[in-house]
Amino acid sequence: MIVLGVESSCDETGLALYDTGRGLLSHALHSQVAMHEEYGGVVPELASRDHIRRALPLLEQVLAKADLPASCIDAIAYTQGPGLAGALLVGSSLACSLALALDKPVLGVHHLEGHLLSPLLASEPPEFPFIALLVSGGHTQLMRVDGVGRYTLLGETLDDAAGEAFDKSAKLLGLGYPGGPAISRLAEFGDPLAYTLPRPMLHSKDFNFSFSGLKTAVLTVVKNHDEKVIANICEQDKANIARGFVDAIVEVLTAKCVSALRHTGLKRLVVAGGVGANAQLRASLNAAAAKKKFKVYYPELEFCTDNGAMIAFAGAMRLQRDPGAATRNYSFDVRPRWPLDELEAA
C-alpha cells in the first residue's frame, strides 16, 4: 500500500510517499524560515499563502523521485491538526481534492502522532512499549506509548514549551529567528560556571514541566547588564548566558525522562520533535542512557522538524491496522486544537 502524506501545520510544507512493503519512497520539504525571519516569528497568513504556492510543485517532486504516477497512490494522509487553522486548511484541501480526483480514500492524521512515530522510520526502530519525550516549539510532553494510538500522557508543560523557551530566550539575546538552533550553537562557546539559572520543577516529583520562569530568568540577567540591554552585552557574555540557559533546560528534560523510565520500568526512550535535534540534549540523554542502562532513539535529523514522511508513515500504520479508518467522504475539517489523548487506538 502506497500512502501519500501531506504536512502543512505551521511553517513547513512537506509531502512524502510511503510504501508499507518497501518503506519511504520519497519525500520533499520546503521551509518558510527565510520568509518569517524578518518578522521574528511565524506570520500565519503568510504561512498559509506559501503552502498554497509550494504544495503542488512538491507533489510533482515526490512523484518524480519515486518514479510513480499519481494513480499508484492507494491512500492520502494529511495533517488534520493541531496547528495553524489556515495552514491546515491548505493541506487538507489539497489532500481531499486530490483523493477525489483519483477516487482514493483519505485520512486525517494527528500531527503529534506523526512526531511520536517518526523514530520508527529509522534503520533500527524501537519496539513498543516505550517512553516518548515530545519536544517542539508548541509541545513538551512525556508519553507512554504502547502501540499505534495507545498513548498515555504522563506529564506536560504547564506554560511555555521547551521550543518556545529556546526561541524567546534567543530573541532576548538578539539572536533572531529561529532562535533554538542559534542559542544552542552560541552555548557551545559559553562558560558553564558563569550563570546558574533555575531548573523549574526539577524536584516536583511528577512529570510536568514549566519553562516560562527560566525564560524570565534570562530576561533578568540581560536587563541587569545595562539600561540599553542587549546592545551592551559582549559576545562572550551572551555565550555564557546561552550556556546557562541550555544547561538548565537540558538538565530538566533529562531528569524527567529518567524519572519516567524508572516509574514505568521501561528501558526504551524515544525523542521526537524539533528540539530533539538539539546536540546538547542528545549528549545529555546519551550519557544518562549509558549510566542508567536504557536505550534512547531519535528520528533522523531530517525528520525532527515537521515533514510529510512522518504523516505518510503514521497514516500507513493506522491503515494497516484498520483499513476502514480512511474515508471517501471528501468534505473536510481541521482541528487547530486537538489533544493527543483524544485519539482512538487503531
Is the pLDDT at 178 greater than 50? The verdict is yes
**Residue-level pLDDT at 344:** 65
The verdict on 166 and 315 lying in the same domain is no
Angle at 31 between CA 5 and CA 145, to 5 degrees: 50
Residue 211, φ and ψ in degrees, nearest 5 = -120, -5
The annotation status of 48 as a binding-site residue, yes or no, is no
**Residue-level pLDDT at 225:** 74
CB 281 within 8 A of CB 312: no
CATH number of the domain to which 57 belongs = 3.30.420.40
The annotation status of 25 as a binding-site residue, yes or no, is no
Is the pLDDT at 50 greater than 90? The verdict is yes
C-alpha cell read off for 335: 482541528
Q: Provide mean pLDDT across the span 199-213.
A: 96
The annotation status of 74 as a binding-site residue, yes or no, is no
The verdict on 248 and 172 lying in the same domain is yes
CB 78 within 8 A of CB 38: no
The annotation status of 263 as a binding-site residue, yes or no, is no
Task: Count the helix, strand and coil residues of the chain and give each as a percent rounded to the nearest 5.
Answer: 50, 20, 30
**Residue-level pLDDT at 153:** 95
Report the alpha-carbon distance of residue 5 to residue 310 in Å, rounded. Answer: 8
The verdict on 65 and 152 lying in the same domain is no
Question: Which percentage of the chain shows pLDDT scores above 70?
Answer: 97
The answer for residues whose C-beta is within 8 angstroms of residue 98's C-beta and 6 or more apart is: 4, 59, 70, 76, 104
**Residue-level pLDDT at 26:** 98
Q: Is residue 326 part of a domain?
A: yes
Q: Provide mean pLDDT across the span 336-343.
A: 88
Domain of residue 62 covers 2-117+303-342
Helices 235-264/179-187 angle, 10° precision: 100
pLDDT in tens, 313-331: 999 999 999 999 999 999 9
The annotation status of 138 as a binding-site residue, yes or no, is yes
Span of 51-60, 101-110, 296-305 with lowest mean pLDDT? 296-305
The annotation status of 278 as a binding-site residue, yes or no, is yes
The annotation status of 273 as a binding-site residue, yes or no, is no
Q: Is residue 122 part of a domain?
A: no
Q: Is residue 153 part of a domain?
A: yes
Of 120, 260, 270, the C-alpha closest to 204 is: 260
The annotation status of 5 as a binding-site residue, yes or no, is no
The verdict on 98 and 153 lying in the same domain is no
Q: Provide mean pLDDT across the span 219-240.
A: 78
The annotation status of 276 as a binding-site residue, yes or no, is no
Q: Provide mean pLDDT across the span 272-276.
A: 92
Question: Which percentage of the chain shows pLDDT scores above 90?
Answer: 88
**Residue-level pLDDT at 230:** 57
Number of domains making up the chain: 2
The annotation status of 135 as a binding-site residue, yes or no, is yes
pLDDT in tens, 57-78: 999 999 999 999 999 999 999 9
**Residue-level pLDDT at 343:** 81
**pTM for this model (two decimals):** 0.94
The answer for residues whose C-beta is within 8 angstroms of residue 163's C-beta and 6 or more apart is: 135, 136, 137, 138, 139, 140, 180, 273, 274, 275
Q: Are strands 2-7 and 75-81 parallel, antiparallel or unpaired?
A: parallel
The annotation status of 137 as a binding-site residue, yes or no, is yes
For residue 283, give the amino acid letter. A
